[in-house]
Amino acid sequence: MRRLTKWRHHILTVQLSMLVCMFLLWELAGRLRWIDVLLFSYPSKIFGQIGKDVASGEIWAHVGVTVGETVVGFLLGTLVGTLLAVLIWWSPFLSKVLDPYMVVFNSMPKVALGPIFIVMFGAGFTAIVMTTLSITVIITTLVVYNSFNEVDPNYVKVIRTFGGQRSEIFAKVVFPASFPTIVSTLKVNVGMAWVGVIVGEFLVAKEGLGYLIIYGFQVFNFTLVLSSLLIIAAVATAMYQLVVYAERKLLAGRR
């Protein structure tokens, strides 16, 4: 355990060192004009922008809107995708019918669906969440459904030998065996939810971090653009770590 703890600390130290070196190199390149500071800015200027926005209180409304949309899209996408996977597993006929449609829909550029959602649901929260769901639901469905199909068939035969019905096969074999995959899908959906929300905000939002990025491009304030991206990275990382923590607790409880 001491060796494992030391190994983890070593990895964390290297990761933090790489991050610090990257920011120092970026700062040096900006100060010495090795890069175009109009486009790439540099860390001290970006953190100054973040500090100013935090002090004025302007940034909190944008962060709150984007995080709220992301959490709703993340939770709904995981739930609906899992339920859809259960439905198509339950009906082999429905699975065969929907399989090509899911593949085609998953390959479609979701940005193209944004205007349709805007017309259907209006320019606001619902349209952005629907854009997010168009990304997260299909991915969750495909991953979870494949996990259902990869369960050891010998376990299924045991349940059938004792007269078990399809509902008992799912409850006693398929779902327990696929639970780690379902929980791991949460980590994938964190990134997918952020992609969907930012794409939706690019198209329709009047507030949020995606809106700040578009606004920064329009007024050629690339420091604002990069500061918004840095905030997105920080919040997304925190959200991802919460999901990893929840995954450990859930899987440890099942073991």
Q: In angstroms, rounded to a whole number, what is the distance separating the alpha carbons of residues 89 and 106?
A: 18
Chain mean pLDDT for the chain: 87
Residue 105 — pLDDT band, cuts 50, 70, 90?
confident
Q: Is the pLDDT of residue 112 over 80?
A: no
Task: Check residue 22 and give its pLDDT.
Answer: 94
Q: In angstroms, rounded to a whole number, what is the distance separating the alpha carbons of residues 72 and 200?
A: 14
The 3-state DSSP class for residue 82 equals helix
Task: Check residue 231 and give its pLDDT.
Answer: 93
Contact 80, 139 (CB under 8 A): no
209 burial level (CB within 10 Å; 0-12, 13-18, 19+): buried
Q: Which two tokens stand for residue 26?
A: 């970026």
Q: What count of other Cβ atoms lies within 10 Å of the Cβ of residue 121?
A: 16
Per-residue pLDDT reduced to its tens digit, 143-191: 999 889 888 888 888 888 888 888 888 888 888 888 888 888 888 888 8
Residue 126 is which amino acid? T
